[in-house]
Amino acid sequence: MPPPTLLPFTTPRKSGTNSSVLINRPAFRLTEKFLLLLVFSGFITLCFGAIFFLPDSSKLLSGVFFHSQRTSITGSGPKQDGGRELEGDKLSKIREDHEKALREAKDTLQKLPEQIKKEIKEEKQKVVQESANKKQAAPRLPNVVFRKPVGAIGREPSDPQTRERQAKIKEMMKHAWENYKRHAWGSNELKPLSKQQHSSSLFGNIQGATIVDALDTLYIMGMHDEFKEAKEWVEKNLDFNVHAEVSVFEVNIRFVGGLLSAYYLSGEEIFRTKAVDLGVKLLPAFNTPTGIPWALLNIKSGIGRNWPWASGGSSILAEFGTLHLEFMHLSQLSGNPVFAEKMMNIRKVLNRLDKPQGLYPNYLNPNSGQWGQHHVSIGGLGDSFYEYLLKAWLMSDKTDEEARKMYYDAVQAIEKHLIRKSNGGLKYIAEWKGGLLEHKMGHLTCFAGGMFALGADGAPEDNSGHHMELAAEIAHTCHESYDRTATKLGPEAFRFDGGVEGIATRQNEKYYILRPEVIETHMYMWRLTHDPKYREWGWEAVQALEKNCRVAAGYSGIRDVYSTQPTHDDVQQSFFLAETLKYLYLMFSEDDLLSLDHWIFNSEAHPLPIIRKSDKIQ
Ligand code: DMJ
Catalytic residue among 189, 431, 480, 492: 492
| Averaged pLDDT, 555-582 | 98
pLDDT tens track for 299-352: 999 999 999 999 999 999 999 999 999 999 999 999 999 999 999 999 999 999
Q: How far apart are CA 89 and CA 95, in angstroms?
A: 10
CA of 309 to the centre of ligand 1 (A): 20
What is the SS3 assignment for 464-486?
Answer: HHHHHHHHHHHHHHHHHHHHCCC
Share of residues in the chain with pLDDT > 70 (%): 78
* Exposed/middle/buried for residue 206 (C-beta within 10 Å: 0-12, 13-18, 19+): buried
Q: How far apart are CA 477 and CA 262, in angstroms?
A: 34
Ligand 1 atom closest to residue 513's alpha carbon, by position in its atom list: 11
Q: Is 333 helix (H, G, I), strand (E, B) or coil?
A: helix
Ligand 1 atom closest to residue 254's alpha carbon, by position in its atom list: 2
- Torsion angles phi and psi, residue 561, rounded to 5: -70, -15
Task: Count other Cβ atoms within 10 Å, centred on residue 563.
Answer: 14
- Torsion angles phi and psi, residue 191, rounded to 5: -100, 100
Share of residues in the chain with pLDDT > 90 (%): 74
**430 close to 495: Cβ distance less than 8 angstroms:** no
Q: How far apart are CA 535 and CA 527, in angstroms?
A: 10
Ligand 1 atom closest to residue 605's alpha carbon, by position in its atom list: 4
CA of 384 to the centre of ligand 1 (A): 9
Cβ-proximal residues to 32 (8 Å cutoff; 6+ apart), any chain = none
Cβ-proximal residues to 258 (8 Å cutoff; 6+ apart), any chain = 212, 213, 214, 215, 216, 578, 604, 606
**324 close to 388: Cβ distance less than 8 angstroms:** yes
All domains in the chain, ordered by first residue? 7-65+79-128 (no CATH), 161-615 (1.50.10.10)
For residue 1 and ligand 1, the question of a CB distance below 6 A is answered with: yes
| Probe target for ligand 1 pocket from 447, 579, 581, with the most ligand atoms within 8 Å of CB | 579
Does residue 450 register a pLDDT over 70? yes
Going by DSSP bridges, is the β-strand pair 189-191/554-555 parallel, antiparallel, or unpaired?
A: unpaired
Q: How far apart are CA 287 and CA 46, in angstroms?
A: 72
Angle, CA of 438, 417 and 323, to the nearest 5°: 85
CA of 278 to the centre of ligand 1 (A): 20
CA of 580 to the centre of ligand 1 (A): 10
More confident residue, 148 or 424: 424
| Probe target for ligand 1 pocket from 575, 580, 601, with the most ligand atoms within 8 Å of CB | 575
Angle, CA of 226, 227 and 229, to the nearest 5°: 65
CA of 213 to the centre of ligand 1 (A): 12
pLDDT tens track for 165-206: 999 999 999 999 999 999 999 999 999 999 999 998 899 999
What is the SS3 assignment for 40-108?
Answer: HHHHHHHHHHHHHHCCCHHHHHHHHHHHHHHHHHHCCCCCCCCHHHHHHHHHHHHHHHHHHHHHHHHHH
pLDDT value, residue 70: 29
Does residue 535 register a pLDDT over 90? yes
pLDDT value, residue 178: 98
For residue 603 and ligand 1, the question of a CB distance below 6 A is answered with: yes
Instruction: For 100-237, list the strands marked E by DSSP.
Output: 189-191, 196-198
pLDDT tens track for 254-266: 999 999 999 999 9
What is the SS3 assignment for 153-190?
Answer: CCCCCCCHHHHHHHHHHHHHHHHHHHHHHHHHCCCCEE
pLDDT tens track for 143-158: 988 988 999 998 999 9
**69 close to 90: Cβ distance less than 8 angstroms:** yes
Task: Count other Cβ atoms within 10 Å, centred on residue 547.
Answer: 12
pLDDT value, residue 117: 60
For residue 384 and ligand 1, the question of a CB distance below 6 A is answered with: yes
- Is residue 123 part of the annotated active site? The answer reads no
For residue 510 and ligand 1, the question of a CB distance below 6 A is answered with: no
Does residue 374 register a pLDDT over 50? yes
Residue type at 67?
H
Q: How far apart are CA 286 and CA 366, in angstroms?
A: 9
Ligand 1 atom closest to residue 443's alpha carbon, by position in its atom list: 11
Angle, CA of 541, 538 and 507, to the nearest 5°: 35
CA of 159 to the centre of ligand 1 (A): 32
**604 close to 253: Cβ distance less than 8 angstroms:** yes
Does residue 164 register a pLDDT over 60? yes
pLDDT value, residue 71: 28
**491 close to 561: Cβ distance less than 8 angstroms:** yes
CA of 4 to the centre of ligand 1 (A): 13
| Averaged pLDDT, 412-424 | 98
Q: Whose CA is nearest to atom 10 of ligand 1?
A: 515
pLDDT value, residue 32: 62
- Measure CA 20 to chain center: 21
For residue 467 and ligand 1, the question of a CB distance below 6 A is answered with: no
Helices (H), 295-337: 317-320, 324-334
Computed over every residue of the chain, the mean pLDDT equals 86
pLDDT value, residue 67: 30
Residue type at 440?
K
Q: How far apart are CA 350 and CA 355, in angstroms?
A: 9
Kindly report the length of the chain: 618
Q: How far apart are CA 215 and CA 212, in angstroms?
A: 5
**177 close to 223: Cβ distance less than 8 angstroms:** yes
pLDDT value, residue 616: 64
For residue 575 and ligand 1, the question of a CB distance below 6 A is answered with: yes
Burial pattern 498-512, b for ≥16 Cβ within 10 A else e, equals eeebbbbeeeebbbb
Nearest by Cα to 204 from 351, 367, 10, 375: 10
